[in-house]
A and B are shown apart, each in its own frame.
Chain A
């Protein structure tokens, strides 16, 4: 089993240029299927929203679909879907993305739509009130009306972090959402939705020269506006364990999640990457360390997962971030016992290293996941847009399987050794459901 499987690589071409107004563009053509993916990513996320305006970055994402310079409310949706395509957007800690996937013949339409809202969304009182209601329903569906809502992504950051940007609720409080104004939205757009603060990526079935011309034609007249200075959101690491416990009145079973800070994903990538692999060594499938021990042998958890970044976007997050483990337990489960076992397994890994073949098979599986994600045009356009935005290196998407394959046992062992209890933040959810 120790034989090393060759990890294949993709060779997606990458063309980059910057328009005179500062918009950065990435093109990655591929004629194998008659579809295109278009992604526009703005360098603003949950961490950038002002105090007293929790949830605002996400609310603003909704407003970007509510009409723009040449488009009435509802027109954006109808034009994308009426072209045979699909669309969405999402708000992350460090960026907000907007995207479409369409039949190839609709590329220019998608570029027109994105350029139109980059020039300016229609920010009206009526649309704002309507989307505040919609966002509140989204929060009810995903958090308030369901068991384990927001566990752990909304529950763990306030235990781990001290500063508002890192610790606050990214979905927002109803109070903050209700008091948002059109003036707030306009100020947010003016500050963060500058074309110098955005990247555009196009992947799929198109001709590079024609697409370049279209991009110049549609985005060239977006007024030049520079990016605001990028703040540092860093804060000191924990020096003593921090914990919180809460009761979820809808949850039938207990759960526990822990996080430890990891190196800067961008500034210190070489030291960061081993943690990405470590998360999989610990939790990817029945042959992983913690699943084998906690689920199968001890039966102290019913499921356990591990990943980096509170939203699972390990190659699209800036410093500070964390490696997370989250587990659901059987009735009467004991979070402390689970954590003690995790500590024991981490110590064993740090002391004894990996078994023969263990690293290679985990690397092979990560490669499959990475490659699979890039099979869709959006799976290339979106990460390339973010890699351009955050690192100026969209071609890194091709390199990730190989880079993962180069992580060594010594690096995994060293990473495991840093996950000490005193650097850990933990949140436990207690069942409050009457069963």
Chain B
């Protein structure tokens, strides 16, 4: 066997941000346009603040946003968009309504016109809304049979208590009770340009793209009925919550740990600590749980940011027989990173991963659009990447150890396990206090 040396890396060139322009229109909509001309397409993201909106109504509104205007049916909207290679869809999270779409670059003006019609002249026709309502109920029924969904639902409740973030999926019966008139009212009150941000990325001239957006969306006006979400409550560690899923061949292990927001001076160090612990494949927890023990296929941890607070989440699906041992290894790795500073090598490896994947994320139109829109959600712009990269590049081993000790200590964790309680309760109870879910 010949020994071959690993080739050196050529250091990255300085971070180059793409050409962009920004304008806030008279109605209050901010438009950010970014040029990346690699393919003759344009990506669109529109986020509208939607915190504290009635969950069943807001969820159905997001499903029914494209069902019709006073002059177009849902089929017309879809066909007109398709004609320029376009498509638009809407989604909802606890902070915002998000419209996502794309088209051929030559179709940008038309896509914006159709979007404007949907935003300013919505009809919510009774028949179409009824169809979307039934479909949404069916989709929720399917979600309720998905272990990942059930585990997340239980964790959110456990994390957020009575905070509005605690419930993110409406009950089927609540959705059934929503009438089209309620959607029209909600749309009139909340689907407004104030505080909304439109991001356009693609083979475009940024100034001209903003002109096109102004032309199409200039008539979208009116004040929004805003509602600020209160800060999230601190996590309350306590007994592990065990949710029974009789007959499950796997258990869903979930944990929430505290975190800081993106602009916190300690965020880069916490992100590096998260990576070293479990935030990428070459992390301690993944190597232990998957590549050493074979307990799980796709374990992962990540820092999730909401407007009202951030949280570090830990997730793994593990075989029923190894549920106890999986919790043991997780607690062990959390305890280890919270108690001992990381090695220089593993810090450098995580640092290069964090810096490299930022560049990968910016290298496509869709990636850039998602990043710019997500940053805008927190009042940030793409140039934040420079500050964040610098913070990642300079975070010290001591800072990372400090962040790990403060945030990743296993005593901080809120833990939920969804699985066959009859088989997993005893092994889990050997490691920590266990409380059965009331449901």
Check B250–A140 contact: CB distance below 8 A: yes
Task: Find chain B residues with CB under 8 A from A250 CB.
Answer: 145
A106-138 CB mask vs B (1 if < 8 Å, else 0) is: 101101100010000000000001111111111
Task: Find chain B residues with CB under 8 A from A288 CB.
Answer: 78
Task: Find chain B residues with CB under 8 A from A251 CB.
Answer: 142, 145
Check A34–B359 contact: CB distance below 8 A: yes
CB-contact partner of A5 in B38, B85, B87, B128, under 8 A: B85
B345-386 CB mask vs A (1 if < 8 Å, else 0) is: 000110011011101101111110000000000000000000
Is A105 among interface residues, defined by CB-CB distance under 8 A?
A: yes
Segment of A316-324, A363-371, A386-394, A414-422 in the binding face: A363-371
Check A299–B134 contact: CB distance below 8 A: yes
Check B79–A1 contact: CB distance below 8 A: yes
- Known contacts A5-B104, A296-B75, A372-B39: A35-B363 contact under CB 8 Å: yes
Check A33–B282 contact: CB distance below 8 A: no
| Residue in chain B with minimal CB distance to A363 | B85
Check A103–B147 contact: CB distance below 8 A: no
Is A312 among interface residues, defined by CB-CB distance under 8 A?
A: no
Check A368–B104 contact: CB distance below 8 A: yes
Check B39–A328 contact: CB distance below 8 A: no
Is A402 among interface residues, defined by CB-CB distance under 8 A?
A: no
Task: Find chain A residues with CB under 8 A from B8 CB.
Answer: 108
A10 to chain B, nearest CB (A): 6
B:1-58 near A, CB below 8 Å: 1-4, 6-13, 16, 36-41
Is B301 among interface residues, defined by CB-CB distance under 8 A?
A: no
Task: Find chain A residues with CB under 8 A from B247 CB.
Answer: 249
Check B75–A84 contact: CB distance below 8 A: no
Bound Cα distance A101, B356 (Å): 10
Segment of A47-55, A143-151, A155-163, A237-245 in the binding face: A143-151
A75-91 CB mask vs B (1 if < 8 Å, else 0) is: 00111011111110000
- Known contacts A35-B363, A372-B39: A84-B355 contact under CB 8 Å: yes
Is B126 among interface residues, defined by CB-CB distance under 8 A?
A: no
B19 to chain A, nearest CB (A): 12
Bound Cα distance A76, B251 (Å): 29
- Known contacts A5-B84, A137-B319, A361-B79: A106-B9 contact under CB 8 Å: yes
Check A85–B360 contact: CB distance below 8 A: yes
Task: Find chain A residues with CB under 8 A from B317 CB.
Answer: 137, 140-141, 145
| Residue in chain B with minimal CB distance to A357 | B83
A300-326 CB mask vs B (1 if < 8 Å, else 0) is: 001100000000000000000000000
A50-86 CB mask vs B (1 if < 8 Å, else 0) is: 0000000000000000000110011001110111111
Is B219 among interface residues, defined by CB-CB distance under 8 A?
A: no
Q: For chain B, what secondary structure do more than half of its interface residues adopt (helix, strand, loop), or is it mixed?
A: mixed
| Residue in chain B with minimal CB distance to A30 | B38
CB-contact partner of A302 in B86, B87, B138, under 8 A: B138
CB-contact partner of B83 in A5, A70, A83, under 8 A: A5
Check A137–B318 contact: CB distance below 8 A: yes
Check B366–A70 contact: CB distance below 8 A: no
Bound Cα distance A435, B137 (Å): 14
| Residue in chain A with minimal CB distance to B252 | A145
B:94-109 near A, CB below 8 Å: 102-107
Check B39–A10 contact: CB distance below 8 A: yes
Check B353–A365 contact: CB distance below 8 A: no
Check A252–B103 contact: CB distance below 8 A: no
Check B85–A140 contact: CB distance below 8 A: no
Size category of the A interface is 35 or more
Check B85–A84 contact: CB distance below 8 A: no
Check A253–B138 contact: CB distance below 8 A: yes
Is B131 among interface residues, defined by CB-CB distance under 8 A?
A: yes
Task: Find chain B residues with CB under 8 A from A131 CB.
Answer: 294
Bound Cα distance A117, B314 (Å): 32
- Known contacts A302-B135, A376-B364: A34-B12 contact under CB 8 Å: yes
Check A5–B75 contact: CB distance below 8 A: no
B:329-350 near A, CB below 8 Å: 348-349
Check B83–A109 contact: CB distance below 8 A: no
CB-contact partner of A137 in B134, B281, B294, B349, under 8 A: B294
Bound Cα distance A69, B87 (Å): 48
Check B104–A367 contact: CB distance below 8 A: yes
Bound Cα distance A87, B280 (Å): 11
Task: Find chain B residues with CB under 8 A from A8 CB.
Answer: 40, 104-106
Is B429 among interface residues, defined by CB-CB distance under 8 A?
A: no
CB-contact partner of B298 in A141, A284, A376, under 8 A: A141
Check B4–A105 contact: CB distance below 8 A: no
Is A19 among interface residues, defined by CB-CB distance under 8 A?
A: no
Is B141 among interface residues, defined by CB-CB distance under 8 A?
A: yes
Is A183 among interface residues, defined by CB-CB distance under 8 A?
A: no
| Residue in chain A with minimal CB distance to B245 | A145
Check B360–A371 contact: CB distance below 8 A: no
Task: Find chain B residues with CB under 8 A from A360 CB.
Answer: 83
Segment of B113-121, B206-214, B285-293 in the binding face: B285-293
Check B363–A84 contact: CB distance below 8 A: no
Is A232 among interface residues, defined by CB-CB distance under 8 A?
A: no
Task: Find chain B residues with CB under 8 A from A136 CB.
Answer: 319
Is B169 among interface residues, defined by CB-CB distance under 8 A?
A: no
Check B82–A77 contact: CB distance below 8 A: no
Bound Cα distance A112, B364 (Å): 26
Bound Cα distance A69, B306 (Å): 46
Is A330 among interface residues, defined by CB-CB distance under 8 A?
A: yes
Check B6–A109 contact: CB distance below 8 A: yes
CB-contact partner of B138 in A30, A111, A328, under 8 A: A328
Bound Cα distance A356, B396 (Å): 64
| Residue in chain B with minimal CB distance to A142 | B297
Check A84–B352 contact: CB distance below 8 A: yes
* Given A102-B360, A252-B145, 15 further pairs, Cβ under 8 A: A5-B104, A33-B363, A73-B291, A74-B282, A81-B280, A141-B297, A145-B250, A252-B141, A296-B131, A331-B141, A360-B83, A361-B83, A372-B366, A375-B41, A435-B141
Measured CB to CB, the residues of B under 8 A from A are 1-4, 6-13, 16, 36-41, 66, 74-87, 102-107, 128, 131, 134-135, 138-139, 141-142, 144-148, 247-250, 280-282, 287, 290-298, 317-319, 348-349, 352-353, 355-357, 359-360, 362-367
28 A-B residue pairings within 8 Å (CB atoms): A5-B85, A8-B104, A34-B363, A35-B360, A69-B2, A73-B291, A74-B287, A74-B291, A78-B282, A78-B349, A81-B349, A82-B348, A85-B356, A104-B12, A108-B8, A137-B319, A145-B317, A148-B142, A251-B142, A252-B141, A285-B81, A286-B66, A287-B75, A302-B138, A365-B82, A365-B86, A367-B85, A375-B41
